[in-house]
Amino acid sequence: MIAAAGYNHGMTLGEIAAALGCTVHGASGVTITGVAPIDTAGPADLTFLANPKYASRTRHCRAAAILVTAPLDGTPMISVVSAHPYLDFARALAMFYRAPRPAPSIHALASIDPTATVGPEASIGPFAVVGPRVTIGARAVLHPHVVIYEGVTIGDDFTAHAHASVREFCRLGHRVTLQNGAVLGGDGFGFAKRPDGSHEKIVQSGVTVIEDDVEIQALSSVDRATMGETRVKRGAKVDSLVQVGHASVVGEDNIICAQAGLAGSSLLGRNVLLAGQVGVSGHLTIHDNTVVYAQSGVVGDVAAGSVIAGTPAFDAKTWLRTVTALPKLAEMQRELRALKATVAELEARAQDASAKR
């Protein structure tokens, strides 16, 4: 590992396994200095194998040890047996690197309204702005140029990276993280057409509510509601460049991947996964445990436990069969035309034969 602040420069494999609750099959005293994927791991690294289809890659892996569900044969790597190798790899990564955390302090160039309340052990960077009647809990970190508008309420252990913004009267729970440029509570996209064709802006009088343990990544937007609230529920993770429209609900433990867009009043149940560039047309419900493949367009309600793909989205297995057939359509069309011509010729011959009798 590169020597830098925030890095741990070595632990024994036994120490790592004990912290993870795993079992070492081999020398537990080996020193591990980092974690890395199979293809790039070096002789002092810990790697992982979560999907058996990548097992062939382990033959050429140079890692000292590997997190696996069962001991590996035919490799010099030490097996660290885990029920959840990918999860434990993520936990191991956190042992070796933690992002720098500013010391508790309020920079002289920060602007905090005298009516705002900021909890203990806060770190507020230069040019951050905390507006009137804001309440922020303990151990908040506001990096430079973060802006918190009037009347916002935020729980403990809030982290906002540079240029994140939280608009007026929004409510955030505990352990919320906003990556760079995230915007919470911006105006929903609402306009009423006048008789002359111009547009009257509809006042967006609602708020955005973010529950505990939510992370919103860079340059994503969760709009405020026209009336009522837009809500992102506990544990949801929203990737970069995502648009959550007004009055939508992102359910508990949802994963919303990059460039997805939810039109207004989209309701997502628990444990929904939207892959990259999914579009949701709004005023519909995607029920619990649904998976939507990348670049799909959802135009109606989706039953719980569905796996869907395509535009308009439908059952993913059927969609895969359909797209497999697409390149053959031109050939199938030619064959169909030839068959129709053959049938027409046979029918004509049959009619001639019948007429001659």
Q: Taking a C-beta distance cutoff of 8 angstroms, is the pair 74, 99 a contact?
A: no
Establish whether 199 is a catalytic residue. Answer: no
Q: Which residues pair with 171 in a beta bridge?
A: 153, 209
Cβ neighbour number for residue 330 with a 10 Å cutoff: 9
Cα–Cα nearest to 14, from 3, 25, 2: 25
Separation CA 204–CA 354 (nearest Å): 77
Separation CA 153–CA 285 (nearest Å): 29
Separation CA 123–CA 116 (nearest Å): 15
3-state helix, strand, coil in the chain (%, to 5): 20, 30, 55
CA dist list (Å): 210 to 102, 166, 201, 227, 228: 24, 11, 25, 16, 14
Q: Taking a C-beta distance cutoff of 8 angstroms, is the pair 71, 38 a contact?
A: no
- Active-site residue, selected from the candidate residues 145, 246, 283, 287: 246
Cβ neighbour number for residue 251 with a 10 Å cutoff: 22
Q: Taking a C-beta distance cutoff of 8 angstroms, is the pair 6, 99 a contact?
A: yes
Active centre residues (catalytic): 246
